[in-house]
Amino acid sequence: MAPESSRDKTETSTVQTRSTPDRKKVSGWSWLIRIIAVCVLFRWLNNRFDYMPMVYGLNYLLPKACVYLIALFSLVALLLSRSAWIRWPALVWVLLTCGVQIGFYRSTGRGFSLEEAIGFLGATDAIGDCLRLYWKLALPALVALIVIGAGVIWALRRYLVEVGPWWSLTSLPALAGALALAWQTQGFASPFTTPYRVTALLSYVMATRYAGPREQPLLPAPPLESERVPHLILIIDESVLGCELSINGYPRPTTPFLEKHPGAFWNGGIASSGAIKTEPSNRMIYSGLRFDQLPDAADRMGKNPSLCSYAIQAGYACECLFAQSFRSLVAQDLHAFPPAKLAYTENLNPVEYQREFELISPLQAFLQAHETSFTYINKRGAHFPYAMHCPEDRRVFGKGTGADCSWSFDLLANVNDYDNCLRYVVDEYLSRLSVALEASGKDVLVLYTSDHGQTLPGSLGTNAIRATHGYATLPPITANVPLMAFGFGPKGRAFIGKLAQNDTLFNNCTHFQIFPTLLRAMGYPPEQVQKLYSPSLLDRLPRPQPRTYVGDLGGGKHCKFREFPPEQNGIATNLYDEVMHWKAPPAH
Ligand SMILES: [Zn+2]
């Protein structure tokens, strides 16, 4: 006991010494210097390694924290103001912005961030449709907000505190800070209380990203007698690695159905994606952007005539089936034509792996209801965490990372999870879809790819940033995607027959081939499509075709390009060899 109590005494005396006024001053300064040093270090790291993961660097965190506190205080000052001239307009502003936030959250399960702001401004024509679809989801939360909000404000003012009108001026620096950070981080950092966040993001997108209405199709409508496939389906899967499918040489049977039916589809082998993040990849495909139009400083992705506008002009009924809830991916394109012409179906089943499977029957119904149709399908696919996207009873490969789905550097467990997931979301999905489309008796062409590839957690490159895609520092496997086509009915089969005859395609394609191929399948004339867009799958490609992708978050002014090296085509045979120790050579 004795030594302990003597140590206690020593500690107490140290504390006392530290609390003398002189020491306090010195330690305050030294803390300031330390904070500045850390900020400088983070600023340097942030510039050096693209965006720092998750936090975007402390240089954003500090101003964010300050603005957040001022914003919170100023909201209280506005809503509890003694002056009704300040209180009531502030209440309307808060209700409108919170209403937008709650409406989005209740209908999509996501907060209001940059993508939602882009979608919101781009789809103003579709607001009526959105309200009709989602008002029941949003209404209870909105009513609760109004009743509780008004009640709390009344009670606080009545019994606790009223704030002098001058304090409401604190909202000006809060708003200025929110706007400055939105601009500084290109809309990524927006952590403020909802009214400021929604206002800052909408202002930022309106001023910088909103390109106005899309252009009308650049080609005249194809003649009705042109050679065309009546039903077209484009499937953009999520995070599916082309080289990890056994049809592309991967040693584990991740695609048993496809392997058993090699004649039922055309396999383009390994393709490179346009970008390594969902949104830019989808936007590039949807807008027919050519590679030589990157960096996309003029936002051609938002302005070009879209796949749907070409399809509608050619007489195809259009439908978007979404399993992602990333409505902003195409929502901003809704204004390209009256929304009534576009059927939009989103499945937000909380059991994520059920979403895309449940969208097969709406697809069947859509095909039956129309003579000609174009369907854009966005799958939930194999996004990290992988275990969430595969039901228990479909897990056939080894032990995974566990049920909590948190980040794990155990590469072997991640490979197991991911392989199980691919077998389910790719192979079983395509098998069920094929059965459904065959049974429809229609002429159908399906183009299938993924938005980007995947760097599995525990692979080289994921240690520092804990991300599976979306960062320029990740290896080119992040852009390694499958490309396949399925044909049903005589016209669908004839189309994939033509692809099979083109010997320049295998392991040589990119996302940029998709848009012109679909235009050709709609009957647009080859010469005109060729003139405006990249080569289609019906054209002969240079072999090898140089392949490059956008390696960071967007395709905008400062995008970074990365080579997609030819070694990616043969990577399947030795992928994960260090943990899988493949024994038998692959069967291909
Ligand atoms: Zn994605």
Q: Is the pLDDT at 327 greater than 60, yes or no?
A: no
Q: Is residue 191 assigned to a domain?
A: yes
Q: Is residue 564 assigned to a domain?
A: yes
More confident residue, 1 or 397: 397
* Distances, alpha carbon 37 to alpha carbons 27, 48, 53, 184, in Å: 15, 16, 20, 21
Cα of 448 from ligand 1 centre, angstroms: 14
Boundary-marking domain end, from 209, 239, 273 = 209
Q: Are residues 413 and 545 in the same domain?
A: yes
Most confident region among 35-44, 133-142, 266-275, 316-325 by mean pLDDT: 266-275
Q: Which of 113-117, 119-123, 575-579 has the lowest mean pLDDT?
A: 119-123
Q: Is residue 221 assigned to a domain?
A: no
The chain-wide mean pLDDT, for the chain, equals 84
Give which of 511, 37, 496, 441 is closest to 275, Cα–Cα: 511
The enclosing H or E element of 437 equals: helix 429-440
Cα of 167 from ligand 1 centre, angstroms: 45
Quote the pLDDT of residue 280: 86
Q: Write the DSSP assignment of 209-260 as a string of letters.
A: I---SPPPPSSPPPPTTS---SEEEEEEESS--GGGSGGGT-SS-S-HHHHH
Cα of 171 from ligand 1 centre, angstroms: 37
Q: Write the DSSP assignment of 384-433 as a string of letters.
A: SSGGGGS-GGG--SS--S-TT------HHHHHHHHHHHHIIIIIIHHHHH
Q: Say what percent of the chain tops pLDDT 70.
A: 83
Cα of 483 from ligand 1 centre, angstroms: 15
Quote the pLDDT of residue 320: 87
- Mean pLDDT along residues 44-68: 61
Q: Are residues 443 and 570 in the same domain?
A: yes
Q: Are residues 460 and 517 in the same domain?
A: yes
Domain of residue 454, CATH code = 3.40.720.10
Q: Is residue 218 assigned to a domain?
A: no
Q: Which domain holds residue 460?
A: 231-580
* Rg value, the chain, Cα: 27
Q: Give the CB-side neighbour count of residue 463, counting CA atoms within 13 A.
A: 3
Quote the pLDDT of residue 12: 40
H, E, C per residue of 127-196: HHHHHHHHHHHHHHHHHHHHHHHHHHHHHHHHHCCCECHHHHHHHHHHHHHHHHHHHHCCCCCCCCCHHH
Q: Which of 117-131, 338-352, 448-462, 478-492 has the lowest mean pLDDT?
A: 117-131
29 within 8 A of 42, measured Cβ to Cβ: no
Q: Are residues 83 and 204 in the same domain?
A: yes
* Distances, alpha carbon 370 to alpha carbons 203, 232, 375, 442, in Å: 41, 12, 11, 10
Cα of 239 from ligand 1 centre, angstroms: 5
Quote the pLDDT of residue 576: 93
Cα of 86 from ligand 1 centre, angstroms: 44
Give which of 177, 227, 234, 183 is closest to 209, Cα–Cα: 183
Cα of 271 from ligand 1 centre, angstroms: 15
Q: Which two tokens stand for residue 364?
A: 């069947």
More confident residue, 53 or 574: 574
Q: At 124, is the pLDDT very low, low, confident or very high (cuts 50, 70, 90)?
A: low
Cα of 570 from ligand 1 centre, angstroms: 23
Q: Which two tokens stand for residue 116?
A: 């939602």
Q: Are residues 197 and 322 in the same domain?
A: no
Q: Are residues 167 and 250 in the same domain?
A: no
Q: What is the pLDDT of residues 517-557, one digit of tens each?
A: 999 999 999 999 999 999 999 999 999 999 999 887 666 66
Cα of 139 from ligand 1 centre, angstroms: 31
Quote the pLDDT of residue 425: 97
Q: What is the pLDDT of residues 268-282, one digit of tens each?
A: 999 999 999 888 899
Compute how many other C-beta atoms are within 10 angstroms of the C-beta atom of residue 228: 22
Q: Are residues 516 and 381 in the same domain?
A: yes
Q: Are residues 264 and 406 in the same domain?
A: yes
Q: Are residues 162 and 236 in the same domain?
A: no
Q: What is the pLDDT of residues 157-184, one digit of tens each?
A: 888 888 888 888 888 988 888 888 888 8
Give which of 112, 383, 37, 82 is closest to 241, Cα–Cα: 383
The β-bridge partners of 481 are 271
DSSP single-letter state for residue 269: E
Boundary-marking domain end, from 174, 209, 244 = 209
Q: Is the pLDDT at 24 greater than 80, yes or no?
A: no
Would you give the end-to-end CA distance of the chain in angstroms? 74
Alpha carbon 249 to chain centroid distance? 28
Cα of 295 from ligand 1 centre, angstroms: 20
**CA–CA–CA angle 50, 53, 55 (5° rounding):** 110
Q: Does the predicted TM-score (pTM) go above 0.85?
A: no
Cα of 154 from ligand 1 centre, angstroms: 46
Q: Is residue 32 assigned to a domain?
A: no
Domain count, the chain: 2
Alpha carbon 309 to chain centroid distance? 22
Q: Is residue 13 assigned to a domain?
A: no
Quote the pLDDT of residue 21: 44
Per DSSP, which regions of 464-560 are E strands? 480-488, 509-510, 548-550
269 within 8 A of 263, measured Cβ to Cβ: no
Quote the pLDDT of residue 14: 40
Cα of 560 from ligand 1 centre, angstroms: 18
Q: Are residues 415 and 292 in the same domain?
A: yes
Q: Give the CB-side neighbour count of residue 33, counting CA atoms within 13 A.
A: 6
Quote the pLDDT of residue 9: 41
Q: Is residue 133 assigned to a domain?
A: yes
Cα of 210 from ligand 1 centre, angstroms: 22
Q: Are residues 345 and 469 in the same domain?
A: yes
Residues with CB under 5 A from ligand 1 (ion): 238, 278, 451
Q: Is residue 272 assigned to a domain?
A: yes
Q: Are residues 294 and 353 in the same domain?
A: yes
